[in-house]
Amino acid sequence: MTMVHVISADQVREAMLEYVHLRAEQLTSMAHLFATAGSVRVIDGVRVHVVPFEDAEDAYGWTQSAEECKCGDLIVWGRTVAVLDRAWPVTVRGDGEAFHRLKDGVTFETHEGGKYAHAARIARSLRLTPF
């Protein structure tokens, strides 16, 4: 039997402050590390990541470096939801400030043969309140 231990970002932060003596400012600049400490939700077979960043650049950067974020996963950033299309987060709904958009006339049902259509349907159905 495999045991899984879940720790929160706050627990990681406290441990780092206690044992490594990092200043809070240094921890803030390492926010991408703490974002990976959260659990991933799965909705109807689609993995959903909620990224806690305020800055669009940080949210985009997380999609490029987080090993746990896979092709077809959803990324929720504020009121924006994107699907990861290979290496590129593509906005399904929201303002899209941080992520790419499909070209005019292209839908998730037609893009890449509909590969991301199911994820896009899940994205459109999400209530954007805390899980």
Instruction: Over range 48-54, report the average pLDDT.
Output: 88
State whether residue 15 is helix, strand or coil. Answer: helix
Q: Do residues 59 and 91 make contact, with C-beta atoms less than 8 angstroms apart?
A: no
Are 49 and 66 a contacting pair, CB within 8 Å?
Answer: yes
Q: What is the arithmetic mean of pLDDT over 4-19?
A: 61
pLDDT in tens, 79-104: 899 999 999 999 999 987 789 999 99
The total of other beta-carbon atoms located within 10 Å of residue 97's CB is: 13
Domain-by-domain residue ranges, the chain? 1-38, 40-125
